[in-house]
Amino acid sequence: MDHLLRGSLRNEMKHCLYCLAPLPEHFQWKNVFLSETTLLCETCRNMFTPLPKNVCPKCSKPLQKGEETQCHDCIRWEKSTHWKGILEHNTSFYVYNDDIKDFVARWKYRGDAALALVFKEKLRRLYLQNYVDYYPVPIPLSKERFTERGFNQSALLASFLATPYTIFEKLQWMRTHRTYRKLKEIAPQPVLHALRRNIDEKKQSKKSRYERLTFTKNPFVSVSSHEVSVKGKKILLIDDIYTTGMTLRKAAYRLKEEEAASVRSITLFR
Ligand SMILES: [Zn+2]
Ligand SMILES: [Zn+2]
- Beta carbons of 235 and 137 less than 8 angstroms apart: yes
Mean residue pLDDT of the chain comes to 87
Ligand 2 centroid vs 38 CA: distance in angstroms?
32
Ligand 1 centroid vs 175 CA: distance in angstroms?
36
In a domain? residue 248: yes
Between CA 163 and CA 194 the distance in angstroms is: 18
Report the CATH number at residue 235. Answer: 3.40.50
Q: Which of the ligands is closest to the CA of residue 40?
A: 1
Q: Count how many domains the chain has.
A: 1
In a domain? residue 125: yes
Q: Which of the ligands is closest to the CA of residue 71?
A: 2
Neighbours of ion ligand 2 (CB under 5 A): 56, 58-59, 61, 71, 74
Closest CA to 198 of 215, 214, 222, 216: 222
Sheet holding 89-94, edge to edge: 89-94, 262-269, 234-241, 134-138
Residues ≥6 apart with Cβ < 8 Å to 72: 64
In a domain? residue 36: no
In a domain? residue 233: yes
For the stretch 237-250, pLDDT in tens is 999 999 999 999 99
Percent of the chain with pLDDT over 90: 69
In a domain? residue 105: yes
More confident residue, 161 or 226: 161
More confident residue, 27 or 75: 75
Q: Which domain holds residue 229?
A: 51-269
**pLDDT reading at 211 higher than 80:** no
Q: How confident is the model over 172-177, as a mean pLDDT?
A: 87
In a domain? residue 27: no
pLDDT value at position 72? 95
pLDDT value at position 225? 77
Helices 120-130 and 167-177: crossing angle in degrees, nearest 10, is 30
Residues ≥6 apart with Cβ < 8 Å to 125: none
Provide the residue type at 78 as one letter. E
In a domain? residue 133: yes
Ligand 2 centroid vs 72 CA: distance in angstroms?
7
Between CA 87 and CA 105 the distance in angstroms is: 27
Model confidence band, residue 208 (pLDDT cutoffs 50, 70, 90): low
Centroid of chain to Cα 256: 19
Between CA 229 and CA 183 the distance in angstroms is: 27
In a domain? residue 23: no
Q: Is 133 helix (H, G, I), strand (E, B) or coil?
A: coil
Ligand 1 centroid vs 15 CA: distance in angstroms?
8
Model confidence band, residue 7 (pLDDT cutoffs 50, 70, 90): low
